């Protein structure tokens, strides 16, 4: 996180105590930092084997939930490019996810017999193309109109799948190919008795067998893709493209005036987002081995958006946290049975009200807020009324 080093050291003197921990972390020597990252990654990889008591999900498979979490993380990273970086409100993101999943399903099972690894590149290209096809006419529409147009797009994709026999209609497509397995060695799980972790010799995961009964290898695959995406995301955010997106989001006219071809960059954001969504869909279809249109309801678009916004749109770590919460909380709340959606809705409201900037807002927001406050204080003196009335 070299960027954040420079970013925080600049504002360090003014930053509040909540940044203290981050500061201390970023000031550590580089070697230690790398070590910490590796430890974190190892911990994440080992998580489903550890099954820590409070985190683990009673009532459903922890590995399976973690896989879903990685899919949501992936989707959130992709949607974050569209919503967080480029500022385009997309309510039909599930459409891209569906296109990725359906391409893999059709190529590996329904109409052809391709291996999974060959179908994935085709799937992501197909999604990117669909992103361009959808974006080219609609991205000229501004602001919230885009939201409803994309929402419509997502629904059209789903309804087309429901009503088209070639796409398996409501019956769906089964026997989708799984990733190729390399069976190397077995790793035992832990289980917890009271506060003591115990090794469970009967419960093992084979590295790396993409089988039916064990969800953990899929989680490892998903986590790996998420890590790769994170790196790619960081590269792209700090590049010229990332700055062009930021400029377009903050003030489209000004950006256009400064020579940023905003339409082309919006289209790029849209198709990059679609790419990631398609990849997530492809992984999902392979793990499920069966898909039908019920997995691509409008509700999922909404949940994906919730993940991005609750986590902190524009901050890749924030949206990961958001994705984790949105995918994980309903599973963790299984004990509430009938009430779990209710509780989830309440959680969304509470998060929105108490952390309106998202759980981990991007640094830009913190900086902008601070600068704004200083500006207001300097310009207005005692005109405190203004902020109260403004809606």
Considering only residues 309-338, where is the footprint of other proteins by CB under 8 A? 309-310, 313, 331, 334, 337-338
Nearest approach in angstroms of CB 288 to other proteins is 6
> Which listed residue (160, 227, 247, 376) binds other proteins by CB under 8 A?
160
Question: 127: closest CA among 250, 279, 340, 306?
Answer: 279
306 binding other proteins? (CB under 8 A): yes
Residue 126 corresponds to which tokens in the numbers above? 């197909």
- Applying CB under 8 A, the site for other proteins has a residue count of 92
CA 212-213-219 angle, 5° bins? 85
Torsion angle (degrees, nearest 10) of CA 136, 245, 277, 50: 180
Q: Contact letters (x/-) for other proteins, 218-257, by CB under 8 A?
A: ----------------------------------------
89 binding other proteins? (CB under 8 A): yes
Residue 230 corresponds to which tokens in the numbers above? 């994170």
Q: Give 262 or 313: the residue with its C-beta nearer to other proteins.
A: 313
> Which listed residue (237, 249, 287, 316) binds other proteins by CB under 8 A?
287
Which residues, 21 to 50, sit near other proteins by CB under 8 A?
none
Q: Which range in 1-9, 148-156, 254-262, 274-282 contacts other proteins by CB under 8 A?
A: 148-156
As to burial, measured by CB atoms within 10 angstroms (0-12 exposed, 13-18 middle, 19+ buried), residue 341 is: exposed
Question: How is residue 83 annotated by DSSP?
Answer: I
SS3 34: helix
Question: 168: closest CA among 275, 301, 278, 294?
Answer: 294
Residue 4, Cβ neighbours under 10 Å: how many? 13
Backbone phi and psi for residue 274, each to the nearest 5 degrees, phi listed first: -60, -40
> Which listed residue (169, 252, 317, 376) binds other proteins by CB under 8 A?
169
Q: Is the separation of the CB atoms in 119 and 111 below 8 Å?
A: no
Which residues, 371 to 390, sit near other proteins by CB under 8 A?
386-387, 389-390
> Which listed residue (353, 378, 381, 382) binds other proteins by CB under 8 A?
353
Q: Contact letters (x/-) for other proteins, 177-216, by CB under 8 A?
A: -------------xx-x--xxxxxxxx-------xxxxx-
Q: Give 162 or 208: the residue with its C-beta nearer to other proteins.
A: 162
Torsion angle (degrees, nearest 10) of CA 220, 222, 228, 230: -120
147 binding other proteins? (CB under 8 A): yes
> Which listed residue (129, 149, 206, 230) binds other proteins by CB under 8 A?
149
Nearest approach in angstroms of CB 8 to other proteins is 21
Q: Give 205 or 272: the residue with its C-beta nearer to other proteins.
A: 205
Residue 125 corresponds to which tokens in the numbers above? 């290209």
* Run of H or E residues at 316: helix 316-332
Nearest approach in angstroms of CB 387 to other proteins is 7
């Amino acid at each position: 996180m070299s960027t954040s080093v420079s970013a925080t050291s600049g504002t360090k003197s003014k930053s509040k105590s909540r940044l203290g921990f981050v500061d201390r972390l970023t000031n550590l020597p580089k070697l230690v930092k790398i070590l910490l990252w590796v430890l974190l990654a190892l911990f994440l990889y080992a998580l489903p084997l550890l099954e820590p008591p409070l985190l683990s999900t009673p009532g459903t498979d922890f590995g399976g939930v973690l896989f879903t979490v990685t899919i949501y993380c992936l989707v959130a990273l992709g949607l974050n490019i569209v919503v967080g970086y480029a500022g385009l409100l997309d309510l039909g993101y599930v459409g891209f996810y569906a296109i990725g999943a359906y391409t893999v399903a059709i190529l590996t099972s329904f109409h052809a017999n391709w291996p999974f690894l060959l179908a994935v590149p085709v799937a992501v290209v197909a999604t990117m193309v669909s992103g361009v096809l959808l974006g080219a006419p609609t991205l000229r529409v501004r602001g919230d109109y885009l939201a409803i147009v994309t929402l419509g797009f997502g629904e059209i994709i789903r309804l087309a799948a429901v009503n088209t026999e070639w796409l398996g209609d409501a019956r769906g497509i089964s026997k989708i190919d799984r990733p190729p397995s390399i069976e190397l060695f077995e790793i035992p799980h832990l289980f917890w008795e009271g506060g003591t972790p115990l090794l469970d010799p009967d419960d093992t995961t084979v590295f790396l067998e993409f089988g039916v009964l064990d969800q953990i290898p899929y989680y490892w695959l998903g986590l790996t893709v998420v890590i790769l995406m994170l790196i790619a995301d960081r590269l792209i955010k700090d590049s010229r493209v990332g700055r062009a997106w930021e400029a377009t989001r903050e003030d489209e006219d000004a950006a256009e005036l400064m020579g940023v071809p905003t339409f082309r960059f919006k289209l790029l954001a849209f198709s990059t987002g679609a790419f990631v969504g398609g990849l997530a869909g492809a992984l999902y279809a392979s793990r499920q081995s069966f898909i039908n249109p019920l997995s691509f309801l409008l509700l999922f678009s909404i949940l994906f958006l919730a993940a991005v916004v609750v986590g902190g749109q524009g901050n890749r770590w924030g949206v990961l946290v958001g994705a984790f919460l949105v995918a994980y909380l309903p599973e963790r709340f299984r004990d509430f049975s009938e009430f779990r959606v209710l509780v989830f809705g309440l959680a969304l409201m509470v998060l929105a009200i108490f952390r309106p900037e998202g759980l981990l807002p991007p640094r830009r927001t913190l900086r902008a807020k601070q600068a704004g406050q200083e500006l207001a204080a300097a310009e207005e003196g005692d005109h405190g009324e203004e902020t109260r009335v403004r809606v």
